[in-house]
Chain A
């Protein structure tokens, strides 16, 4: 555990970067420091590995003051990942990753073996081992940065805006990769970002900081979204925090109706039975059960085999039942021309459909459940789902 106790950082010119900050960073989880530029989040991170020394207050690592430890030994026990990866351009990828093990006195072969192991862990092709940083894309370089930080298996990982310089698609995949690695390794990660969406996606705990280096709120993401401490936090979260909070509610409990599912070779009698269930639209599925599209119940009265597949209404994006969140389900329903979302299983086969009304009811009951539990717990499925 990292304990930050009343830490202040004031520079000689009078600016206060961090002002009387106290935080308890729990072990084995991701704590995100987030806030606008100039809020002291990077300074706070850099005080943990003593790249910056606090003016007053103290930081404890597993109960002992970090100023009592030799500074380089302390830094070697903490992985450090920075914005542009900061790779050594004169060293190959494998030697970049092997940096800290080599500093710790491992022999070259062992350090390189370890580096190759980590390349696999962060999803880098082994063929890149002998390449140089300039031959890699920004996203690949950042993966190398993460692998390098993990090389000596430090219990703590400090990450300073590690994914800010890559494009949104690569950033999303790197976030997913980090969550997957974290599930396997369970490090104590302190992650700095200015992007609240990133904070909500990856953080177990989020510390929102405001300009002047003061802590505005320290809470798990669901609590942050449901009950922001003040107007600053609310404003920082943006206008759609209600919708975003749905990311933390599983679509597991959604009541799916199978009635409107009709196979493409169904005859008039089967169609009539489905239509009788009361749904205005029927979802046609192919021989394997994968969705094809929507058809109005009366247009299919003569049998599904008579319907021209080319004239079906598109079914949009389906959601993975149970694995994706209520936010995904709602999004699918909103995008669907019929107002009904299509739920599929892992193989893409339709398992049911659900209306906006049903999703709305599920949202209300999920809210009631979370308020009742104090609003602090969270469904851990989302992170698992996001990582896959």
Chain B
């Protein structure tokens, strides 16, 4: 039986991690179908049909799907599930919210946040904030799997031409009403997919001081991250949080500034290819994962860093 991928999108276009989830789905089985549930989402459905790994697109439209409410999405997937061996989506807040609701309806034990497909029924996943890796075999007939997007490369986005099939909408769930979404718009790359991330912690001391980080991020074409301490202190909004309960990032370069390196933060960034730590406390745990550690006062180091970057003839973007 084929694998069913649940597409994440904003009704206009696919959200980027759908491509990573598609890769994971195709590693489970080459026969990948994708369902897109939304309102006026034809453009995103077309984009989905162009992913070469996707063999068929199922499109479900309805006004009650406009805001991606799990209570409305789950019945659609549950109904489709009879034709599939696996249901797959990203382990970001979209998938984390939705997939368990599907799994419970299917009486299946979900495998969350996998980082590797070992076989049709066996997966590798981090536990204890990434301090241990567990190999999990699912004995359920139907498998509900969420994938850690940063552990899978995005699939090719063009070249495919899968047929798009309309599927009937499910009834509306009337006890949940969407009110509003406050998205923080930014011209910077998305935190989850950025090649470089510059993050600040409690050591930044204020939200204003984050401009030191912003400046460097702009120069490097980087996304801005933060520790939970910095978000809790109100220096920066929650969508920047990196860690066990925030976002997991795997950039080529992660620069941690004024971040001590609590276990919960390391869980979100320690797979980064190159890690830089700037901290005035030489004993801070962040140095234990850093490739390059600089023991310095960040308020001196960051302006110098900017100066040094300005001296470079070229900067990779």
A, B from the same assembly: no
List B residues at the A interface (Cβ < 8 Å). Answer: none
